[in-house]
Amino acid sequence: MSAVIEFKLFAPRNNQASLMGSFSDWQETPMEKSEDGYFSTQLNLEDGIYQYKFRVQTKSPNFSPDEWVEVIDPYATDVDEQEKVGIVQIKDGKRIVDTYIWQHDDIPLPENQELVIYEMHVADFTGGEVDSDKRGKYLDAIEKLDYLRDLGINAVELMPVNEYPGDYSWGYKVRHFFATESSYGSTADLKLFIDECHSRGIRVFMDGIYNHTDEECPLMLIDRNYWYYEHMHYPEDPDNYWGPEFNYDNYDEKLDVKPAWKYVGDVVRFWVQEYHIDGIRFDAVRQLANFEFLHWLAQQAKKNTAPKPFYNIAEHIPDTSKVTTPEGPLDACWHESFHYFIVPHVCGEKFELDHLKQVLDPKQQGYKTGRNVINYLSTHDRDRLFRELGNRGIFGESAFTRAKLVAALLMTAKGIPMLWMGEEFGEHKRKSESVTQPKKIAWPLLENAENHDLWQYYQQLIALRKHNLALQSDNIEFFCEDADAKLLAYVRWREQGSQVVVVVNFHEQKLTDYCIPNFPNAEHWQDWFTQTEVEVGQDGLVTDLEPYTAKIYVSH
397 and 333 belong to one structural domain = yes
Residue 180 lies in a domain: yes
Chain-centroid distance, C-alpha 501: 30
Domain check: are 392 and 490 in the same one? no
Q: Output the tens digit of pLDDT for each of the chain's 556 residues.
A: 789 999 999 999 999 999 999 999 999 999 999 999 999 999 999 999 999 999 999 999 999 999 999 999 999 999 998 999 999 999 999 999 999 999 999 999 999 999 999 999 999 999 876 666 678 999 999 999 999 999 999 999 999 999 888 888 888 889 999 999 999 999 999 999 999 999 999 999 999 999 889 999 999 999 999 999 887 677 677 777 678 999 999 999 999 999 999 999 999 999 999 999 999 999 989 988 899 999 999 998 988 666 789 999 999 999 999 999 888 999 999 999 999 999 999 999 999 999 999 999 999 999 999 999 999 999 999 999 999 999 999 999 999 999 999 999 999 999 999 999 999 999 998 887 777 778 899 999 999 999 999 999 999 999 999 999 999 999 999 999 999 999 999 999 998 889 999 999 999 999 999 999 999 999 999 999 999 999 999 999 999 999 999 999 999 8
Residue 357 is assigned to a structural domain of this protein: yes
- What backbone phi and psi angles, to 5 degrees, belong to 65? -55, 130
Which spans in 313-395 are helix H? Answer: 336-346, 353-360, 385-391
Residues 305 and 388 in one domain: yes
Coil, helix or strand at residue 333: strand
Asked if residue 451 belongs to a domain, the reply is yes
Domains: count for the chain: 3
The answer to whether residue 306 sits within a structural domain is: yes
Q: Helix, strand or coil for residue 417?
A: strand
DSSP-derived letter for residue 160 is: P
Active-site residue, selected from the candidate residues 315, 361, 423, 474: 315
Same domain, yes or no: 186 and 313: yes
Look up the CATH number of the domain holding residue 517: 2.60.40.1180
Q: Which of 333, 331, 312, 445 is nearest to 384 (CA)?
A: 445
| Triad 379, 380, 382: Cα angle to 5° | 60
Provide the 3-class DSSP secondary structure of residue 45: strand
First CA to last CA distance, the chain: 68
Judge whether 354 counts as a catalytic residue. Answer: no
Contact 177, 162 (CB under 8 A): yes
pTM: 0.96
Identify whether the C-beta of residue 365 lies closer than 8 Å to the C-beta of residue 480.
no
Is residue 412 within 8 Å of 500, Cβ to Cβ?
A: yes
Q: Check 114, 181, 223, 283 and give the catalytic one.
A: 283
Q: Please identify, among 61, 94, 127, the residue that sits at the C-terminal boundary of a domain.
A: 94
Q: How far apart are CA 269 and CA 273, in angstroms?
A: 6
Domain contains 322: yes
**Does 341 share its domain with 403?**
yes
Same domain, 133 and 275: yes
CB 269 within 8 Å of CB 277: no
Does 222 reside within a domain? no
Say whether 315 is catalytic.
yes
